[in-house]
Structure 1
Amino acid sequence: MNGTASSRRAGQAIDALRHGWPIRIEDRVTLLPAETGYDAGATSRLLLISAARAVTLKLANQKDAAAPDAPALIRAAEPFALRNARELADPARDLANPLAGPFRAQPLDWEEIAVAAMTLARIAGLLPAFMVDPAIPGEDICEEAVPVSLADLAQFQDSARLTVQARAALPTEAADHAEIVAFRAPDDLREHVALVIGRQGDRRVPLVRLHSECLTGDVLGSLKCDCGPQLDASLAAMAEEAEKGGWGILLYLRQEGRGIGLINKLRAYRLQDQGFDTVDANNRLGLPTEARDFPVAARMLHLLNVDTVRLMTNNPAKVAALEEVGVTVTERVPHQLPANPHNARYLDTKRDRTGHLLR
């Protein structure tokens, strides 16, 4: 019961951030999300931003050299109003709103709390920036803040809490005989699914594809990425495997934008239109290049009684991530598709900056 209550507190904190309410971590630091903060009168002398955003703001050289990847606590000459905090958080405003510095990085003696705040913001789909211990006229913000602890966040992220919620036959264009299995964890709104094609339990090692949700590519047919064609090709390959007496599993993970969320992915698209590549666009937003939760995929396989796979991927990091959490990968099956004029640079970035094997 303690674990359930702990996970619930983390879920409540994530919901609070979406609503623009303050949270208080470890009963020590009160944080108001810059993007959604609900009171325009809020002010703060300190702003917490991610390490990646600190680089964009040219504050990285002021940070502790021993912790270069830690979030940054910054101070301006005058207290930040909520409007100023939003301008600093959102790179789309960098050109329209010249940054009114100078800003100085401050010592951060609560790094674990700061890292947890960045994680909570990312799960909530928000820009990673917070007003620290803000003042709101006429209100006691500490009493209103939603409490959460590091242990609460760890419980929320524990993949062992994921369980099977429903399963049903699902004939598809790729294969008439397929089964869909839905998974959910308490207090987490994301619902992952697996599509099993062929006879589950066959002694052959299944062909498996980890496919992170991509609304723009999978549903709308975007040409900016290769997600839609990869999804179709993986289902076709699994159907062919089933015809030969084998089987396959598509894990469809609700981790839009490699874990940064749909809104932030579209913000990154806007930055790409300005000339930034995928990696630099994410980092300019203050977000990681890779934020997917691969232990969730391993847990889904475990619940399907699968511990050995042939993995369809061009990304060796996926192989390593699965093996690190106990899934044996007997073969990496290449999954490369032709480029188009709109995604050629995206694929080059995958090859040159994130280690994908595309030749």
Structure 2
Amino acid sequence: MAPPGPGTAEVEEALAEVPVPEDVHVAVVPGGAERTDSVSAGLATLRTDVGIVLVHDAARAFTPPEVFDRVVHTVRSGHAAVVPALPVTDTVKAVRSHGDVEIVTGTPDRASLRAVQTPQGFLRETLERAHAQVVGARRHTDDAGMVEASGVHVAVVPGHPRAMKVTTPLDLVVATAWAEVQGEGARTGPCLVVLSGLPGVGKTTLARELCARRGAVHLRVDTVEQSLLGSGIRETELGAGGYAATLAIAADQLRVGLDAVADLVNAVPEAREAWEELAESAGARLVRVELVCADEEVHRARVEDRTGDIEGHRLPTWAQVVERAWEPWPGAELRIDTGRTSVADAATLVEEACR
């Protein structure tokens, strides 16, 4: 979509210089007076064999490709309407006008709130039906709102911080900085993510999600330690041997340019300093992530209900977890409460820190 009149021709000229695959059809369609008018005009130009439609704001120009992939995959998985979104981190107030000020009328629980982004994905017939049923009934700020008003459930997938909408002068400053960094190469070396947290907070689950997304190496100290015990080393002799072996493996992976995710309790300053020194010597970007589960009931249930997946490894009891020494990690880039943050959202936060 492009502004009607001269704006349409300007966009067409700009796109003429952009190489696209032969099987991709690009059409510049003049927009309408309202958002719904513009989307309806775009829908009218689609080929008959197009079954999935993505509606994307050009102002969200830095949206990473993986967000598009997640939306399309979820539509193909059986959801007729899908939006990417991020958890709301600010406290939100509902207000009403009261003279020259506003009065707070309520404070929604932000745990259930999401800031919606684009691209929003739909089955074509779902979006067309929503436009036919809802246009004119009330003003909607996005197509997902129209679809929701037509009675269709809207699914939510993780968005991305870089999918912000560039609308204010400050937004433009941030976007310019991102463009300059990308032009210079956002990363020159691998990323080392070091997870730290008590047993049962979700370190391994998050590590696996990150490794699947980034093609990173999973460095799980429990696996290393159990392998050492299986080779004949006595448990009383193990000491910090598992950590030392995991560090050595990590060093090899980072030297060949692979991202790595270290999955370990990592409670003492000496261990944390060792990871920081490794990152510096390997020229890797270090992202230190402290994981907690502030809800004790949830944490205890995780510890008591989980089953081991490493042969011979004895999982700690809840009493042992509670007794374990633990201190916050000063300087950690992220502190994530896994009792309130989903695995997907936590992984998105870590990915952004890696960039």
Give the TM-score normalised by the residue count of structure 2. 0.25
- 1 or 2, which has the higher helix percentage? 2
Question: Whose strand fraction is larger, Structure 1's or Structure 2's?
Answer: 1
TM-score computed with the length of structure 1 as normaliser:
0.25
